Amino acid sequence: MTRLLAPSNFRVPEVLETKKFRLRMLTIHDVVKDYDAVMTSIDHLQGIFGPRSKWPSKDLTREQDLIDLGWHQKESQRRTSFAYTVMSLNEKTCLGCVYVYPSVKKGFDAEVYMWVRKSAFDKGLDKELYEAVRNWIEKEWPFKKVAYPGREISWDDWKKFINIVKENLRD
């Protein structure tokens, strides 16, 4: 049985809008804009999922990005994780993405990762996105404790948590 990240009776928020961006569910229809955001920011984005993360690579194809987006869309439909695109208010530009995953660490309900394209980062959007998402998760989602690896928890500390979980699974 697949574990739901959010209870079936919980109405998953579909949109978060601020004066600078719109956060909405990510779909395969976002592939052109998402691919542009990723490929114009490769060096900036590497390590966003941890220091050893190889995403994104320079050889990422649009087809591979489409497959990733399709996977994220399906997981959102199944309620096992949720992926959002961060769009400019006019929907012309993908500014980044936000991912809400079940936590691998006991004691946390969810893990949240996010990124913004390099040009948006240079304009200070990363901090604004993080603050807006943190507030949104706290107010609109049913989680008691959320991890923001690489932000509120250093990657070294998060790695220690992961290793402890792996060791406990082996016992």
Residues 93-99 have a mean pLDDT of 98
128: pLDDT strictly greater than 60:
yes
Per the prediction, the chain carries an average pLDDT of 91
170: pLDDT strictly greater than 70:
no
pLDDT for the residue numbered 109: 93
Please identify which residue in the block is written with the tokens 């199944």: 78
3-state secondary structure labels for all residues of the chain: CCCCCCCCCCCCCCEEECCCCEEEECCHHHHHHHHHHHHCCHHHHCCCCCCCCCCCCCCCCHHHHHHHHHHHHHHHHHCCCEEEEEECCCCCCEEEEEEEEECCCCCCCEEEEEEECHHHHHCCHHHHHHHHHHHHHHHHCCCCCEECECCCECHHHHHHHHHHHHHHHHC
Confidence of residue 167 (pLDDT cuts 50, 70, 90): very low
pLDDT for the residue numbered 83: 98
pLDDT for the residue numbered 166: 44
pLDDT single digits (tens) 136-147: 999 999 999 999
pLDDT for the residue numbered 158: 82
pLDDT for the residue numbered 163: 55
Residues 69-98 have a mean pLDDT of 97
Q: What radius of gyration do the chain's Cα atoms show?
A: 16
- What is the pTM for the complete model shown? 0.91
Q: Select from 3.40.50.1480, 1.10.287.130, 3.40.630.30, 3.20.20.370 the CATH code of 15-170.
A: 3.40.630.30
134: pLDDT strictly greater than 70:
yes
Domain boundaries, the chain: 15-170
